[in-house]
Amino acid sequence: MKMDVLLGLQWGDEGKGKIVDVLAPQYEVVARFQGGPNAGHTLEFDGIKHVLHQIPSGIFRSQILNIIGNGVVLDPIILKKEIEGLGKFSIDYKKNLVVSKKATIIIPTHKLLDAAYEQSKGDKKIGSTLKGIGPTYQDKIGRSALRIGDILSPDFREKYDTLLAKHKTTLSFYDFSLDALPEMEKQFFDAVEFIKTLNLIDSEYVVNEALAAKKKILAEGAQGSLLDIDFGSYPYVTSSNTMTAGACTGLGVAPSRIGEVFGIFKAYCTRVGSGPFPTELFDETGEAMRKEGNEFGSTTGRPRRCGWLDLPALKYSIMINGVTQLFMMKADVLNIFEEILVCTHYELPNGEKIDRLSFEIAEIDAKPVYRKMKGWNCSLKEVSSYDQFPEELKGYVTFLEEELQVPIKLVSVGPDRTQTILR
């Protein structure tokens, strides 16, 4: 049995939460492998909207084991709040949720460091979610981080104090107040006691034993490929490998065990935070997209930058991830446009047209070259199968498939579970 992977091909917020929830009945295990509470996975069913930050999106299905893997950075305070928020759903989280002892812990000063680093960057800010992601991964790679397994050790407090002292030294170089720290620490140690009551495991064994027992596993990515620490628009990226390879290291699964790779993209593009975005729209069209798509961050509430679909970027993400199936999200947001644009190339200042994301491309003033297509310009509310799609939408799907050379197997036409068209 192989493990399937689901990931975002753009700058995050593609709608991964909804799709994990839709696919979940086919799976017995759903596992998060990277990132942390910077993610906000939105699920909508029975008229209610749920946003998950650290808990895998299979949690609403009682037959699914949800794993927070070793590649994740975990904020105990946020996890405790999230679990408490699930109280009304009678979810048996002690049975259906397990946490890797090798997951890295976000401590309060990681969040302060995140804010201090951002503050010091001036107009070169990353636009971080300020959840402490970068500083925590820094400590992981620097071999000084605390891991979930450490909370069970009698000298946890000592280990914490050592890391705290290191952080305080660093923070002393910044003009940054520590006034909030005592209250944050109180909440942190409270939450740590709560986390001790969860099922803390060596998740690499659980995942590999599940595969050996022919159980179906879905690895749920967070953020998007263009935010990958190696291949994203560095330095405007997150601090983990958001790509398929990250699912191997973030769960302890061999590359030969990867099965289907589901690549999720929006029918247009959005980005939160700073960094290059060649197709970004600064006019009323971009404003209309933001309004129609309700493009405001589910973690920070920030308005998302909006623009037309970028094919060179999408081809790049498909290449580095080995995508086998594409899922196109939020097609209904484009209902309002009479004309739809798709970027097929970039034009360099010397007039040359390219369709690659080279190291230099972010630095150069590359202009998008668009193909214009007639929009369908009608509601998709009544549509319940692909045959019922307006011809222009079918044309959009076919054009993208020809360009991307990967089948589009699913088109989402609204936020609810039921507004999902399979092909």
Q: CA angle, 31 as apex, 259 and 77 as ends, to 5°?
A: 160
Q: Which position among 21, 41, 111, 310 bears the catalytic label?
A: 41
Task: Tell whether residue 305 is among the known ligand binding residues.
Answer: no
Exposure b/e, 279-292, CB count within 10 A at least 16 = b: bbbeeebbeebbeb
Least Cβ distance, residue 128 to ligand IMP (angstroms): 4
Residue 41 a catalytic site member: yes
Q: Does 58 bind ligand IMP (CB under 6 A)?
A: no
Q: Which of 10, 100, 109, 129 binds ligand IMP (CB under 6 A)?
A: 129
Kindly tell me which of 72 and 380 has the beta carbon lying closer to ligand IMP. 72
Q: Which position among 4, 13, 75, 228 bears the catalytic label?
A: 13
Q: Which of 223, 241, 317, 321 binds ligand IMP (CB under 6 A)?
A: 223
Interface characters, 158-197, with ligand IMP (x: CB under 6 A): ----------------------------------------
Using the contact rule CB under 6 A, the part of the chain among 6-14, 60-68, 93-101, 352-360 near ligand IMP is 6-14
Q: Does 112 bind ligand IMP (CB under 6 A)?
A: no
Kindly tell me which of 34 and 420 has the beta carbon lying closer to ligand IMP. 34
Kindly tell me which of 12 and 69 has the beta carbon lying closer to ligand IMP. 12
User: With DSSP H G I counted as helix, E B as strand and the rest as coil, what are the percentages for the chain, rounded to 5?
Assistant: 35, 25, 40
Task: Tell whether residue 170 is among the known ligand binding residues.
Answer: no
Q: Does 222 bind ligand IMP (CB under 6 A)?
A: yes
Token pair recorded at residue 227: 């935010």
Task: Tell whether residue 304 is among the known ligand binding residues.
Answer: yes
Nearest in space to 334 (alpha carbons), one of 280, 275, 377? 377
Q: Does 278 bind ligand IMP (CB under 6 A)?
A: no
Size of the site for ligand IMP (CB under 6 A): 20
Task: Tell whether residue 349 is among the known ligand binding residues.
Answer: no
Q: Does 303 bind ligand IMP (CB under 6 A)?
A: no
47 CB-near residues (< 8 Å, 6+ apart)? none
The strands making up 258-266's β-sheet, listed across from edge to edge, are: 199-201, 97-100, 65-68, 29-32, 217-224, 3-8, 258-266, 325-329, 408-412, 420-422
Kindly tell me which of 110 and 216 has the beta carbon lying closer to ligand IMP. 110
Nearest in space to 149 (alpha carbons), one of 78, 190, 200? 200
Amino acid identity of 231? F
- Tell me if 342 sits within 8 A of 308, measured CB to CB: yes
Task: Tell whether residue 139 is among the known ligand binding residues.
Answer: no
Task: Tell whether residue 330 is among the known ligand binding residues.
Answer: yes
Q: Does 13 bind ligand IMP (CB under 6 A)?
A: yes
Q: Does 272 bind ligand IMP (CB under 6 A)?
A: yes
Kindly tell me which of 118 and 401 has the beta carbon lying closer to ligand IMP. 118
Least Cβ distance, residue 353 to ligand IMP (angstroms): 28
At which residue do the structure tokens 């975990």 appear? Answer: 74
Helix (H) or strand (E) holding 78: helix 76-85
Residue 242: C-alpha distances to residues 75, 120, 197, 229 (Å) = 19, 26, 29, 8
- H helices of 199-242, in order, are 203-212
Contacts to ligand IMP from residues 132-151, by CB under 6 A:
133-134
- How far apart CA 18 and CA 107 sit, in angstroms, is 30
Task: Tell whether residue 53 is among the known ligand binding residues.
Answer: no
Nearest in space to 330 (alpha carbons), one of 265, 262, 379, 237? 265
- How far apart CA 422 and CA 19 sit, in angstroms, is 12
Kindly tell me which of 303 and 322 has the beta carbon lying closer to ligand IMP. 303
Q: Does 34 bind ligand IMP (CB under 6 A)?
A: no
Least Cβ distance, residue 37 to ligand IMP (angstroms): 9
Task: Tell whether residue 300 is among the known ligand binding residues.
Answer: yes
- H helices of 122-264, in order, are 133-141, 156-171, 181-196, 203-212, 244-249
Query: Where do contacts with ligand IMP occur on this chain (CB under 6 A)?
Result: 11-13, 38-40, 126-129, 131, 133-134, 222-223, 227, 236, 238, 272-273
Q: Which residues are annotated as a binding site for substrate?
A: 298-304
